[in-house]
Amino acid sequence: MRRKRFLFAVLFFVTLSFSAAQSSGSVGITDARSMGMAKTFTTSSFGIYALGRNPANLIYDQSKNVEVVLPFPLLNIGAAVGSNFISIDEYNYFFGQKNKDEDGKTVGRLLTENDKNRLKDLFADGGSVLSDLQILWFALSIKPAELFGTLAFSVSDNFSGNMTFPKGIIDLGLEGNLPNKVYNFSDAKLKMWWLRKYSFSYARNLNLVPALFKNFSIGFSVNMVQGFIYVGLDRINTELKTGEANVITGKGEFLAHAAFSPDFKVRYNFDKAAKNNGGSFSPFPAPAGSGIGFDFGINAKLNEFTSIGFSVTDIGSINWNKNVAQFSTNALVYLDDLTDQAQRDTLVNRLTGKESGKYINSVSTQLATALHFGVGLQLDKMFGSFPGKMLLAADLHQGFNEQPLNSKKPRVSFGIDWSFASWIALRTGLSFGGNDNFNLGAGLGFNFGLLELNFGLPDFHYLLSPNKAKRITLAADSRWKF
């Protein structure tokens, strides 16, 4: 039991250390302004900040004809690390307390039955840990004329990863080898990647059906994607059954793939001939895969103060064709003597696919394709005497796969952006659903004319109660306007 708890803690922190650009999927990191609005953006992201979210908004809210994102004065960055199930208090309770046994050795907490039930409840909706780092290195948008529309180009990186512990592992660790129990691990998940995206975007007002819409804009992006790292558990259907006299039967079945840039010189355990000479770092490593993605969006202004928006982002896939490894197993499991080293080794090999790895030519993975629908209401235009400018927005986000940044669980968000003075804006918002379950956002924006600075915290509620925090998320960016 103590070993299980130690292994769980190690896996937890190892996963947090992974960070598998501007693409946000349905639940991923966005720009600082949207993060302050609890990741609300379909009708409320404008100019360069519309890239990867709703390209139709490129033409809106541009007080200048040129916008530029550079790594200074603030790097355009968003980061998240944490989980959706365990807080700092809970982690410290189950894994942080140290005791001494009868031999004076340091051991962890001995769990009571109530403790075990409480720990199981934490995993009731799945125990996922995640990390997400997104950097927009450069972006440029130009609007030569209103009738022409807006062109944009951007370069961004995304390092994202998520891992879900199967509930069967927790049950097995807490209950031990009880007879006549079935432990299924099919809910385990693991995805991690490093992607770089070169985006070319265009948006224009079409003035469709002027009797219905004051403005009707469309926008699209073509994204050239390079992949440098991919690790994915694509299928798992492993199951163990415990019988009398400590007999364990079942099957081990899973399929996983990995791919790494040739520059990293990663050595797989099955490749005995490969030499690990150490990888070299370069800001432009050779890709392990490549692909093309597309974003499409519309924004329809019903009148001066009401707009509706729709977008589909990251339609496409990546073909990984360099240093691609496949790991798989599909074998029956039988163990009737826990003291037999050969039986234990066979059990581990069949459950983990150890030494089953091999090189394959290629594997294809989907991008984090997601749908976004939103409604926006500009209160200051609705009420002429309103102090400053205030935008209310509501979004529905739906991912179509479980890639990093994405979730098949729908997410609903509500955001407010209030510029009560020309140079400062306050933002807040609420989000429900997705992988995070709940977000309370808060943010600040500073507009100095030539330069704009933004800061956003989509998990602001954890600052109010840090011991209840399950994750840390923040974003900051700057935009130049000419």
CATH code, domain carrying 29? 2.40.160
What is the model's pLDDT at position 353?
A: 77
Report the candidate in 159, 158, 157, 156 with the shortest Cα–Cα distance to residue 138.
156
- The verdict on pTM exceeding 0.85 is yes
What is the model's pLDDT at position 14?
A: 37
Identify the segments of the chain with pLDDT beneath 70: 1-23, 62-63, 98-101, 108, 125-126, 176, 275-280
- Domain of 23 in residue numbering reads as 2-85+123-481
Residue 289 contacts residue 257 (beta carbons within 8 Å): no
Residue 46 contacts residue 467 (beta carbons within 8 Å): no
What is the model's pLDDT at position 92?
A: 87
Residue 65: what are its φ and ψ, rounded to 5°?
Answer: -90, -15
Residue with tokens 């960055």: 77
What is the model's pLDDT at position 11?
A: 37
Residue 391 contacts residue 379 (beta carbons within 8 Å): yes
Q: Is residue 99 part of a domain?
A: no
Kindly list the distances between the CA atom of residue 70 and the CA atoms of 74, 91, 136, 221, 452, in Å, as whole numbers in the listed order.
8, 39, 8, 20, 12
Residue 162: what are its φ and ψ, rounded to 5°?
Answer: -145, 150
Q: Is residue 186 part of a domain?
A: yes
- Cβ atoms < 10 Å from Cβ of 177: 15
- Cβ atoms < 10 Å from Cβ of 24: 29
What is the model's pLDDT at position 277?
A: 64
The C-alpha atoms of residue 477 and residue 452 are separated, in whole angstroms, by 8
**Both structure tokens of 387:** 């102090």
Helix (H) / strand (E) containing 160: strand 149-165
What is the model's pLDDT at position 89?
A: 92
The number of domains in the chain is 1
| SS3 of residue 7 by DSSP | helix
Q: Is residue 90 part of a domain?
A: no
Using alpha carbons only, what angle is made at residue 143 by residues 369 and 64, rounded to the nearest 5 degrees? Answer: 105
Q: Is residue 474 part of a domain?
A: yes
What would you measure as the largest C-alpha separation in the chain, in angstroms? Answer: 84
The C-alpha atoms of residue 379 and residue 302 are separated, in whole angstroms, by 14
Identify the bridge partners of residue 408 per DSSP, sorted by sequence position. none
- Is the previous residue joined to 210 through a cis bond, with omega within 30 degrees of 0? no
